[in-house]
């Protein structure tokens, strides 16, 4: 029994050291990656716009001058004005909050459900794995965008939490599959068998020994998913089933002014540019995280 205890302690210590080393090495590599640093800085800027819009503008987005519709960008109105004469720069700043709120809520819910379902399916296997896997297959059979449009058309409640719930319902399946595969690979490692031989409960095995070793790919995918959900919110608003005016989001700004592209292109370029840079930043951050957390790429 003492030999088993020694092996378990050694394996556990080695696993913790390897995990700490992995994340430490990844952090050092990310700091030296200019694409990650630039993307991270842009995400911080957009996040500050969402949390503290008054740091970026002192104007009220509802303060409009009907005598100046679609004014050209100037020193007074950096992004010009919209069709109602409202300052377009202020709208772009305030439009960050709903988009990021939906993305954060949806990603948090997707990660929570996906990790739990994948962990249960991979660890227990048998009928639990079969039940969860078949349910995942059914949801994967629903086209993501079409399913979101149909659900939101039926619900007819256009709020941040309803859109986030629909995205969670349709989006957790991929993380569940990623997590299941990682758990299947991790649960047969020596340190897990040693901990089990010492009488560790299933919940302790999953939380302390398997989850830390299997979570890295989920972090990578969740980072990319943040950008995908920002784009999904804009797409749903553009299709008329997302948030509606008088709410202010980048998607609403695009759908309200796309018809003016030839006459006033800045009305489309500025919100689309903010949306593009935000989605791209999350994708680049996810790619950098993947490279940093994969020992084979070092």
Alpha helical stretches, state H, 126-214? 126-140, 144-155, 160-171, 173-186, 190-197, 202-204, 211-214
pLDDT tens, residue by residue, 58-67: 888 888 877 7
Supply 295's token pair: 């020992």
**Per-residue pLDDT, 298:** 53
For 56, the 3-state DSSP assignment is coil
d(CA 242, CA 237): 4
**Per-residue pLDDT, 17:** 52
d(CA 107, CA 102): 8
**Per-residue pLDDT, 275:** 93
Say yes or no to pLDDT of 187 above 70: yes
Greater pLDDT, 189 or 83? 83
Supply 91's token pair: 């709208």
Instruction: Report residue 1's pLDDT band, with 50, 70 and 90 as the boundaries.
Output: very low
Instruction: Report residue 225's pLDDT band, with 50, 70 and 90 as the boundaries.
Output: very high
d(CA 57, CA 273): 19
**Per-residue pLDDT, 23:** 64
**Per-residue pLDDT, 296:** 57
Say yes or no to pLDDT of 266 above 60: yes
Burial of 17 (C-beta count, 10 Å sphere; 0-12/13-18/19+): exposed
Cα dihedral sign for 116, 152, 149, 88? negative
Helix 216-238 vs helix 144-155: crossing angle, to nearest 10:
60
Report the percentage of the chain scoring pLDDT > 90: 33
Helix 216-238 vs helix 96-124: crossing angle, to nearest 10:
140
The pTM (predicted TM-score) of the whole model is 0.84
Please provide the distance, in angstroms rounded to a whole number, between the alpha carbons at the two ends of the chain.
39
Q: Note the Cα 16 to chain centre separation in Å.
A: 27
d(CA 113, CA 171): 10
Greater pLDDT, 135 or 64? 135
Cα torsion at 206, 212, 217, 221 (round to 10°)?
Answer: 90
Q: What residues pair up with 87 in beta bridges, in sequence order?
A: 81
**Per-residue pLDDT, 5:** 47
Q: How far is CA 179 from CA 5, 182, 190, 218, in A?
A: 29, 5, 19, 7
Averaged over 109-128, what is the pLDDT?
A: 89
pLDDT tens, residue by residue, 4-53: 444 444 455 455 555 556 667 778 888 888 999 999 999 999 999 999 99
Cβ-contact 29, 293 below 8 angstroms: no
**Per-residue pLDDT, 68:** 79
Residue partners of 148: CB distance under 8 A and separation at least 6: 166, 167, 170, 232, 236, 241
Instruction: Report residue 278's pLDDT band, with 50, 70 and 90 as the boundaries.
Output: very high
In which residue are the tokens 């040693």 written? 194
Query: What integer best gives the mean pLDDT of the chain?
Result: 84
**Per-residue pLDDT, 201:** 75
d(CA 268, CA 247): 17
Averaged over 153-168, what is the pLDDT?
A: 89
Ordered domains of the chain (ranges, CATH): 2-60+87-297 (1.10.3720.10)
pLDDT tens, residue by residue, 67-83: 778 788 888 888 888 88
């Amino acid at each position: 029994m003492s030999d088993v205890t020694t092996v378990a302690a050694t394996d556990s210590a080695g696993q913790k050291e390897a995990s700490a080393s992995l994340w430490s090495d990844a952090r050092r590599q990310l700091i030296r990656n200019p694409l990650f640093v630039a993307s991270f800085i842009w995400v911080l800027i957009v996040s500050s716009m969402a949390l503290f819009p008054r740091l970026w503008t002192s104007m009220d987005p509802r303060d409009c001058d009907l005598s100046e519709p679609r004014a050209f960008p100037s020193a007074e109105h950096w992004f010009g004005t919209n069709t109602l004469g409202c300052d377009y720069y202020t709208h772009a700043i305030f439009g960050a909050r709903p988009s990021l709120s939906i993305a954060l809520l949806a990603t948090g819910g997707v990660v929570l459900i996906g990790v739990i379902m994948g962990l249960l399916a991979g660890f227990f296997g048998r009928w639990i794995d079969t039940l969860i896997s078949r349910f995942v297959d059914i949801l994967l059979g629903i086209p993501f965008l079409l399913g979101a449009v149909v659900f939101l058309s039926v619900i007819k409640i256009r709020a941040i939490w309803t859109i986030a719930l629909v995205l969670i319902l349709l989006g957790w399946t991929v993380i569940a599959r990623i997590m299941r595969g990682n758990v299947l690979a991790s649960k047969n490692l020596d340190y897990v068998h040693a901990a089990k031989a010492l009488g560790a409960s299933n919940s302790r095995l999953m939380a302390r020994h398997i989850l830390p070793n299997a979570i890295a790919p989920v972090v990578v995918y969740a980072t990319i998913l943040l950008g995908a959900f920002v784009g999904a919110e804009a797409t749903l608003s553009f299709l008329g089933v997302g948030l509606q005016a008088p709410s202010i989001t980048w998607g609403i700004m695009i759908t309200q002014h796309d018809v003016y592209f030839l006459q006033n292109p800045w009305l489309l370029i500025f919100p689309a540019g903010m949306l593009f840079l935000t989605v791209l930043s999350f994708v680049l951050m996810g790619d950098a995280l993947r490279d940093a957390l994969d020992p084979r790429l070092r």
